């Protein structure tokens, strides 16, 4: 049986996502005034999280597409495209 993973650094965050097929991309926004993390999945979701508080990341936006999302990027103002 696998041992539980304990967060080891400030760059690790507990994210609650129920996935069937897995993650395709994880990226931080370039905005230095915020800590915004984006996650895309084979299941067709893009999830944007505010990870300013690493112990309790907050959902900023969830977007569902009917097909797998292989990539995304952030514009200069932390807007996901």
CB 76, CB 64: distance < 8 Å = no
Q: Does the global pTM surpass 0.85?
A: no
CB 47, CB 70: distance < 8 Å = no
The pLDDT tens digits of the residues spanning 17-35 come to 676 778 899 898 888 788 8
Average the pLDDT over each of 22-31, 40-49, 56-65, 71-80 and give the range with the smallest value: 71-80
DSSP 3-state assignment of 49? strand
């Amino acid at each position: 049986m696998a041992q539980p993973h304990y967060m080891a650094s400030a760059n690790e965050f507990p994210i609650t996502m129920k996935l069937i097929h897995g993650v395709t991309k994880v990226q931080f926004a370039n905005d230095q005034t915020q800590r915004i993390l984006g996650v895309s999945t084979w299941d067709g979701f893009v999830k944007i999280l505010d990870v300013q508080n690493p112990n309790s990341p907050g959902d900023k936006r969830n977007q569902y597409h009917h097909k797998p999302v292989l990539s995304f990027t952030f514009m200069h103002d932390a807007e996901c495209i």
